[in-house]
């Protein structure tokens, strides 16, 4: 093989550390905030089934592809794509795939940070007792009040960007890792406690039925695209985040086992979050399709009623902030590594620059919930458009190209070497998926969304 490359940004100390970091990237607002509300908007069970299907046949093979590409190139996604394309005697223009990922990362982080800001503000609301014994209407009013205030949203958005850039400046490997190690399991435990609460709401079976019994007539024209887009979003795929984390993976670590672990953990968190939230929705006569505010108007009701709710509620929002934090740093890491590699910048300088750009774009999202809420394009606000463009178009398109790159551009020998697999069944299956099933699947979903099929 070609001489093994080394990353100038370092390496994870073990496979386990990589699993933690990649799970930290995958598990975030996507699982706890977005999955429940889009499931609610798209009618429940059938949507969940589509999402699981996309995880299995599109997400998992692409995650393996991203990690192996990253580890083989060991540079920022932009430079990795150029290097590996040249190595396989193809055009270095493949680097544009890296670029589109960097742009997607900026755009996603710009609104991700605003939503993480909601969670931040809820930490203080919970701790201050605002939700204590609050009715659904009272909680709804608190949430509406937050959205109506550009100043508060902007302040929380600013704090979250600063938090993110502080960790990024120090380097991912020295940043959040230690914290994630125990915060993630705690978050999962708290979700289980919420499920325990949901069991006693009297609407548990209604919630489960909504989530798990598929009724395809409830799907809309857009639902399949949204389900696929979310599979990419929740697994952090299609933009180079997992690729850059893959570039720090030690050579001997197994990519396949690791991928199943990350995808499994991510999916479990989303499903458990759904099992906690929907019973509360139904028990309180709330609307499952209420939109992006869903968890912010449901979970506080539960915390306001349960014993120890002040403590659990505060802790829960703290943990969501951490989950968002560990995802946010991976959104910007591909850009930072490129600035360091190509512009010779220090990580700290690169982080400040990236933070400022992201902050400005985020102002658009802040205003889209209040002053600009009337300005719409295709019936979507600035935030809706950004979310739709990134999650449903840019990430799947990036993922499709990554699959093509791993399946058609890289040599068979190169991918076999990275996956540590010979020509046996597992490898052939993976290669078949990335060469045919994934690109075709994404294309079909796109065509379906624009009404061609
Ligand atoms: N996977 C994260 C979540 O579910 O919240 C969001 C995300 C992180 C998307 C990193 C894309 C990415 F590259």
Q: What is the CATH number of the domain that holds 24?
A: 1.10.4160
Q: Is residue 137 part of a domain?
A: yes
Give φ, ψ of 377 to 5 degrees. -125, 130
Which token pair is 119?
């969670």
| pLDDT at residue 331, as a whole number | 96
Among 310, 150, 289, residue whose Cα is nearest residue 220: 289
DSSP-assigned beta bridge partners for residue 377: 380
Is 5 part of any domain? Answer: no
DSSP state of 7: -
Q: What is the pLDDT of residue 221?
A: 86
Any domain includes 43: yes
The range of the structural domain enclosing residue 24 comes to 15-449
175 within 8 A of 245, measured Cβ to Cβ: no
Measured at the CA of 24, the angle between CA 18 and CA 25, to 5 degrees, comes to 95
Residue matched to tokens 């001997």: 252
- Distance CA(81)–CA(96), nearest Å, equals 8
Gap from CA of 236 to ligand 1 centroid (Å): 4
Q: Which atom of ligand 1 is nearest to the CA of 240?
A: 13
Q: Whose CA is nearest to atom 7 of ligand 1?
A: 236
Q: Of 32, 70, 238, 241, which is best to mutate to test ligand 1, by the most ligand atoms within 8 angstroms of its C-beta? A: 241
How close is the Cα of 306 to the center of ligand 1, in Å? 31
Q: Specify if 390 maps to a domain.
A: yes
Report if residue 103 sits inside a domain.
yes
Q: Whose CA is nearest to atom 12 of ligand 1?
A: 236
Residue whose CA lies nearest to ligand 1 atom number 11: 236
Ligand 1, residue 395: give the atom nearest the CA. 11
Q: From the CA of 324, give the closest atom in ligand 1.
A: 5
What is the rounded CA–CA span in Å between residue 70 and residue 63?
Answer: 11
CA of 133 to the centre of ligand 1 (A): 33
Residues in CB range of 424: below 8 A, 6 or more apart: none
What are the residues facing 380 on neighbouring strands?
377
Query: Could you tell me if 14 and 261 are in contact, meaning their C-beta atoms sit under 8 angstroms apart?
Result: no
Which one of 327, 392, 397 would you pick to mutate in the ligand 1 pocket, going by the greatest count of ligand atoms within 8 A of its CB? 327
Report the separation in Å between the CA atom of 136 and the middle of ligand 1, taken as the mean of its atom positions. Answer: 30
Number of domains in the chain: 1
Which residue from 202, 100, 114 is spatially nearest to 159, judged by alpha carbons? 114
List, in sequence order, the alpha helices (H) in 235-308: 241-246, 255-283, 294-305
What's the confidence (pLDDT) of residue 172?
66
User: What is the whole-number distance in angstroms between the Cα of residue 439 and the centre of ligand 1?
Assistant: 21
Q: Which pTM does this prediction carry? A: 0.95
The torsion defined by the Cα of 330, 332, 338 and 344, in degrees rounded to 10, comes to: -110
Handedness of CA 76, 250, 167, 164 (dihedral sign): positive
Q: What is the spatial distance between Cα 251 and Cα 71, in angstroms, rounded to a whole number? A: 8
In a domain? residue 404:
yes
Residue pLDDT tens, the chain, 453 long:
456 888 888 888 888 889 989 999 999 999 999 999 999 999 999 999 999 999 999 999 999 999 999 999 999 999 999 999 999 999 999 999 999 999 999 999 999 999 999 999 999 999 999 999 999 999 999 999 999 999 999 999 999 999 999 989 988 667 656 667 777 888 888 899 999 999 999 999 999 999 999 999 999 989 999 999 999 999 999 999 999 999 999 999 999 999 999 999 999 999 999 999 999 999 989 999 999 999 999 999 989 988 888 988 999 999 899 999 999 999 999 999 999 999 999 999 999 999 999 999 999 999 999 999 999 999 999 999 999 999 999 999 999 999 999 999 999 999 999 999 988 899 999 999 999 999 999 999 999 888 887
Judge whether 8 lies within some domain: no
Nearest-atom number in ligand 1 for the CA of 28 is 5
What pLDDT shows up at residue 233?
98
Token representation of residue 431:
């290669």
Q: What is the Å distance from ligand 1's center to 31 Cα? A: 9
Distance 233 CA to ligand 1 centre (A): 5
How many angstroms separate the alpha carbon of residue 329 from the centre of ligand 1? 10
Atom of ligand 1 nearest to the CA of 105: 13
Q: Ligand 1: residues within 6 Å at CB?
A: 25-26, 28-31, 108, 233-234, 236, 239, 241, 327, 330-331
- Asked whether residue 2 is assigned to any structural domain, the reply reads no
């Amino acid at each position: 093989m070609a001489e093994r490359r080394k990353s100038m940004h370092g390496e994870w100390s073990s496979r386990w550390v990589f699993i933690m970091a990649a799970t930290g990237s995958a598990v975030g607002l996507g699982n706890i905030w977005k999955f429940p509300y889009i499931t609610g908007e798209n009618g429940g069970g059938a949507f969940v089934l589509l999402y699981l299907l996309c995880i299995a046949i599109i997400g998992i093979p692409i995650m393996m592809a991203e990690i192996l590409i990253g580890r083989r190139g060991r540079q920022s996604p932009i430079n990795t794509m150029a290097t590996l394309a040249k190595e396989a005697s193809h055009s270095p223009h493949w680097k544009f795939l890296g670029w589109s990922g960097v742009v997607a990362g900026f755009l996603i982080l710009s609104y991700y940070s605003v939503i993480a800001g909601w969670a931040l503000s809820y930490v203080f609301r919970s701790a201050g007792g605002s939700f204590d014994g609050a009715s659904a209407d009272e909680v709804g009013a608190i949430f509406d009040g937050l959205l109506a205030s550009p100043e508060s949203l902007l302040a929380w958005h600013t704090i979250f960007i600063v938090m993110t850039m502080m960790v990024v400046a120090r380097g991912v490997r020295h940043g959040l890792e230690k914290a994630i190690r125990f915060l993630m399991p705690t978050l999962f435990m708290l979700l289980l406690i919420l499920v325990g609460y949901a069991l006693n709401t009297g609407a548990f079976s209604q919630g489960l039925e909504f989530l798990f019994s598929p009724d395809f007539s409830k799907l809309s024209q857009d639902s399949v695209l949204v389900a696929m887009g979310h599979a990419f979003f929740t697994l952090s795929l299609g933009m180079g985040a997992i690729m850059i984390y893959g570039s720090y993976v030690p050579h001997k670590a197994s990519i396949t086992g690791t991928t199943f672990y990350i995808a499994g953990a991510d999916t479990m968190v989303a499903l458990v979050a759904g099992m906690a939230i929907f019973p509360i929705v139904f028990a309180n006569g709330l609307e499952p399709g209420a939109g992006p505010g869903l968890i912010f108007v449901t979970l506080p009701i539960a915390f306001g009623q349960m014993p120890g709710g002040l403590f659990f509620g505060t802790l829960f929002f703290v943990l969501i902030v951490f989950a968002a934090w560990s995802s946010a740093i991976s959104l910007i890491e591909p850009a930072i590594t490129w600035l360091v590699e190509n512009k010779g910048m220090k990580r700290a300088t690169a982080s400040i620059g990236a933070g400022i750009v992201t902050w400005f774009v985020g102002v658009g999202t802040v205003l889209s919930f209040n002053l600009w809420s009337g300005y719409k394009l295709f019936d979507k606000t600035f935030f809706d458009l950004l979310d739709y463009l990134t999650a449903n178009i840019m990430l799947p398109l990036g993922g499709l190209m990554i699959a093509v790159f791993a399946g058609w551009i890289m040599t068979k020998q190169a991918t076999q070497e990275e996956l540590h697999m010979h020509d046996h069944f597992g490898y052939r299956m993976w290669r078949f998926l990335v060469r045919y099933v994934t690109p075709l699947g994404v294309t079909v979903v796109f065509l379906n969304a624009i009404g061609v099929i």
